[in-house]
Amino acid sequence: MDVTRDRIIRTLAVAACFHVHSSLHLFSHERELAIWIRCYYLSWSLWTTIPEHRANMDVPAFAALLLVALLSLLFFAIVRNRKPSDSDGRRRRLPPSPPGLPILGHLPLLGPLPHRKLHAMAASHGPVMLLRLGRVPTVVASSAAAAEEVMRTHDLAFASRPRMRMAERLVYGRDMAFVPYGDYWRQARRVCVLHLLSHRRVSSFRHAREHEAAAMVARVRRRAGEDASPVNVTALIISYTNGVISRAAFGDDRSFGDDRSFGDDGGEELTKLFADFEELLGTVTIGDFVPWLAWIDKLTGLDAKAARTSAKMDTLLERIISDHRQRRRRDDGRRKEDDGHHRDFVDVMLDVNEEAAQEENNSGGVVMFDDVAIKAIVLDMFAAATDTTYTTLVWAMAELINHPDEMRKVQDEVRAAVVSGDGVTEDHLPKLRYLKCVIKETFRLRTPLPLLLPRETMVDTELLGYHVPARSRVIVNAWAIARDPATWDRPEEFLPERFAGDDMTADYLLGHDFRFVPFGAGRRGCPGVGFAVPSMELALASLLYHFDWEMPAGGGSKDTMTASHAALLLTVLIIITPLISFLLITTKRRRPSHRNRRDDGRRRLPPSPPGALPLLGHLHLLGTMPHRKLRSMAASCGPVMLLRLGQVPTVVASSPAAAEEALKTRDLAFASRPRLLMAERLYYGARDMVFAPSGERWRQLRRVSVVHLLSNRRVLGFRAAREHEVAALLARVRAAGGAGAAVNLSELLIAYSNAVTSRATFGGGGGGGGYYYGIEGGEDDGGGGAKLRKVFSEFEELLGTVPMAEVVPWLRIVDVVTGLERKARRISQEVDRLLEKVVADHRRRRRDARRVRDGEEDDSKDFVDVLLDLSDAQEDFGGVQLDTVTIKATILDMLAAGTDTTDTLIEFVMAELINHPTQMRKLQDEIRAVAASDGITEDDLPKLPYLKAVIKETLRLHPPGPLLLPRETLEDTELQGYHVPARTRVLINVWAIGRDPAAWEHAEEFMPERFAGGEDGEAVEYHKMGVDFRFLPFGAGRRGCPGVGFAVPAVELALASLLYHFDWEVHAGGGRTSSPVDMTEERGLAVRLKRALLLVATPWPR
């Protein structure tokens, strides 16, 4: 068996070289690649059906085979994406591109609202970008100058359309909007402009528009009624636009049956059919961008839905055309006398078809518009005139609701123009200049097609100096252009007045101003502007003339757009489907066996929850709050579980007994730290104490922290700093809470904990080179404090982030694409520059001012001074040098441990007390009975046992680090009878342990009394870590937190002072409320409240 396996692996290694070579030279087209993949998979499938081969095949060989395929695909993608060059080998200047992925390109970056993502990319890469959407090179133009070159200067070169599978399926590939540039398109556009959408034809539909507008007004009156009930304006506007276009396209005599008309809320089946049609037409299929993944469209049912909708639509249109032909034969004489001025689109197209047939008989060379072409062009008219028209009207109403001054102004204009009292007619529209401004401003902010329809270059051309190869897809981001601050004043605001002084107010500027291109421009500009605008103006004027509008109580605003589910589905499927396919193939795995060297038997591993995936393991099961999910898993799997987080085996302990064994009984075996990529990046390769692996370096750095930085005497030396910052905190509360205003206590507590820690670390008075955390503002005048807070806020956020490369190393590209690596590098550099300045400033001050004299004992020295003293003294630390890098890493330990966890603990205590007013009153009575009239000092803290009980109960329910920091086993060991291999990651779920009903009575309830006295109260002390393993907020054992003595006084003093000086209530909008605080959590470096704690602080009248 071993010989066979070795032969297979060697053969695959040779095959890998061959396939890499072939991927570079043989696959000139994607079709050849797809054939190769199918043949490769077929040969593998046939080979594995032979019993003796299948029996000898194991996981490494199988993985090697798959690796060959993946390598070939990646090399092929790289070759296919090589930049073009001229015939002489000189590279052309292509537009800049953001980083992309092999095969998928930039598709995963677009998200559910691509116009917004592209706008953000353009801010970094310029107004012309080159993207790779799967296999499709796509140029994106995001400025007025770029749009002008596309749609005017080089209009002919950019005048074609790319092939879009959904459009070909739904509009027969014979319409006008989606067909490529050529004779057929020119003839179809000529018919649309001269026959269907001429000014005379549009005017002939005036009666249909006015009839539908009157019907819409009548429905509003009927549905609003006398009780002023809410009206679904969106539904009414959809009905109006469908009514107008159906009358124009199919006729207003309803000769084809009431079930096919829209005008009076009939035809629900037809309404749904056209809704499905428009939805599908706006859907991008995966096969458009990655052809060999087109099967996904079948799997998701998209192809089936398109076929079903297309068949129903075709049946309907065939019947409509047949009805029109029968009617034309029946009353042919009368129809000829009408001059065709009010004929519907189907009649006009039949006329054109007959004329074309005659011309072809006479001269030849004329494009014939047969029934397929008629159906396609009529569908163009319907799709273009419905969805875009009603969305613009809905946006206009929403903007006016949100801007009541503009609504009153346009209503005054409409009501002044319509003096008859009969309502708005189209005769009034030329007088409504401000109405036109409102519609144009809505078009600018809410472009119905924010990326217009894609174009395709017919020849090699240029765009703003960049080379654009032939057959490149081109997208004009009209949404970004209309919000460009370089061309619009206050572009994000709704200001109809910006169009009020325009000499062309009545014009919608098609091709005149390339800052404003909601309908496109040039050869491919929308020819239906003249048809759409009167419909919109008449409907909006009628609604504003007859009614005053406001949002119903409890209603929401239409100011935000809902994400496109189709685009989101596309992104998710494109990323996930190849992975799922790979996972399904690799699910046949043998259970790993950990051989016992003594008896060659299997060792008993901890149980694992179901639902693990190959490669990803249990990662997908953890959710956003892993401590909660892990507790749920432990309920069914037991207090010790084995998870596979990507490629990382992880044991989770969720009971006091398991925690005691890991943190006390076998503490040495569990005493190391795993390699954490983010900590290595931020802490100089884990040169600190907290994240360093077990060893001599870690032991010496812990000694430095315990003996020199966090000793009782050192902590007492910072008493003045704590009391100073508490006084500043109280002053800020008084200033913010005047007249019953809300106090953002969360924000003030963050500033307080930062201030205390920064004074201890850098020294009072801005020892950190002018940077200072203090909240009283003195040092912040120059912006230094704000900058420091921002940098360290991002630092703590990153430190609580797990990179994908840490658990699945070969998916490191995810961290690159999401910008996580770039952000970590930037923050690391900023923090390093700051700390270099801090250390240099201290050294200069020590050398020049000699504030800290040699040999003098000063318990108030800041941490940097203490570390520099140790470094200068060259004290022996077992060969560990306290160089500048080590000093900086140690400083970061103190800052991270002393800020985020402290403020979140105080925040949770205050939230629990607000939700439990009886306990708050009890605690306030204790504090106010002990303290002097001038407030709390640290001398009072030992006299406040109930305060300590409240803090301990909060730590039990809300430990800042619910899973502590991960540990790693140094050797094979055991936990609760289960085998735990060496180098296994270990998590202690202290959140679950603190809520274990087997260990705590009423475990989910906030009951400080459980710690208030007696044996429990004496046994479970802050400093007695490792005594009671039911209570582990700071960990225990060798890796327990040494900074408890530093954190507790800061927490106790702040809480006692806040509760002594103020009475507290929840703030809810208008003032006080008895509603409880929302205790929803948010994950970060420490778990904190998701929503800021807004309270009303009433000074206590002493």
Task: Tell me the whole-structure pTM to 2 decimals.
Answer: 0.54
Domain enclosing residue 8, as ranges: 2-80
DSSP string, 504-533: TTTS--TTT-TT--TT--GGGS-TTHHHHH
The pLDDT assigned to 771 comes to: 42
Report CA dihedral (69, 71, 73, 78) to the nearest 10 degrees. -170
Please give the Cα distance from 990 to 1040 (Å, whole number).
13
In a domain, 131, yes or no: no
The pLDDT assigned to 227 comes to: 57
Q: What are phi and psi of 563, to 5 degrees?
A: -65, 145
Locate tokens 């997908």: which residue?
Answer: 620
Three-state DSSP at 115 gives: helix
- The answer to whether residues 771 and 879 belong to one domain is yes
The pLDDT assigned to 511 comes to: 62
- The answer to whether residues 75 and 198 belong to one domain is no
How many whole angstroms from its chain centre is CA 640? 34
Q: Where are the alpha helices (DSSP H) in 57-96?
A: 59-80
| Per-residue CA distances from 382 to 177, 345, 518, 947 (Å) | 12, 10, 18, 71
Long-range contacts, 815-821 (Cβ 8 Å, 24+): 816/99, 817/99, 817/100, 817/101, 817/108, 817/109
Q: Domain count for the chain, please give it.
A: 3
Q: Is 1041 annotated as a binding residue?
A: yes
- The answer to whether residues 306 and 434 belong to one domain is yes
Q: Where are the alpha helices (DSSP H) in 547-690?
A: 565-585, 626-637, 656-660, 677-682
Please give the Cα distance from 937 to 958 (Å, whole number).
26
Question: Exposed (0-12), middle (13-18) or buried (19+): which is 693, by Cβ within 10 Å?
Answer: middle
Among 720, 719, 728, which residue's Cα sits nearest to residue 751? 728
In a domain, 958, yes or no: yes
| Per-residue CA distances from 787 to 750, 770, 892, 1067 (Å) | 15, 11, 16, 30
The pLDDT assigned to 787 comes to: 59
In a domain, 7, yes or no: yes
In a domain, 465, yes or no: no
Label residues 659-689 b or e (16+ Cβ within 10 Å = b).
Answer: bbbbbeebbebbbbbbebbbbebbbbebbbb
* Paired tokens of 174: 């014979």
Please give the Cα distance from 392 to 398 (Å, whole number).
10
Last residue of a domain, one of 513, 546, 579: 546
In a domain, 849, yes or no: yes
Locate tokens 């996580």: which residue?
Answer: 820
- The answer to whether residues 44 and 184 belong to one domain is no
Q: What are phi and psi of 541, to 5 degrees?
A: -65, -40
The answer to whether the Cα torsion of 1016, 1017, 1019, 1022 is positive or negative is positive
Three-state DSSP at 467 gives: strand
Three-state DSSP at 980 gives: strand
In a domain, 700, yes or no: yes
Last residue of a domain, one of 80, 115, 134: 80
Query: Residues 6 or more apart from 28 whose CB is under 8 A from it?
Result: none
The pLDDT assigned to 1022 comes to: 62
Please give the Cα distance from 987 to 670 (Å, whole number).
10
Q: Which residues pair with 1071 in a beta bridge?
A: 1068
pLDDT digit string, tens, across residues 551-564: 876 554 433 333 33
| Per-residue CA distances from 783 to 42, 729, 789, 892 (Å) | 66, 20, 10, 21
In a domain, 210, yes or no: yes
Q: What angle do CA 447, 307, 182 make, to 5 degrees?
A: 60
Please give the Cα distance from 192 to 422 (Å, whole number).
34
| Per-residue CA distances from 971 to 533, 668, 670, 693, 968 (Å) | 76, 9, 8, 13, 9
Enumerate residue ranges in the chain where pLDDT < 70: 1-91, 226-228, 252-269, 299-300, 332-342, 356-368, 502-511, 553-602, 739, 764-789, 849-860, 875-876, 878, 1013-1026, 1068-1075
Locate tokens 């925040």: which residue?
Answer: 907
Please give the Cα distance from 561 to 283 (Å, whole number).
17
Q: Which helix (H) or strand (E) holds 967?
A: strand 967-968
Check which CATH number belongs to the domain holding 1029 and give it: 1.10.630.10
Please give the Cα distance from 822 to 832 (Å, whole number).
15
Last residue of a domain, one of 38, 55, 80: 80
In a domain, 36, yes or no: yes
DSSP string, 164-190: -HHHHHHSTT-SSSSSPSSHHHHHHHH
Q: Are the beta carbons of 914 and 1062 closer than 8 angstroms?
A: no
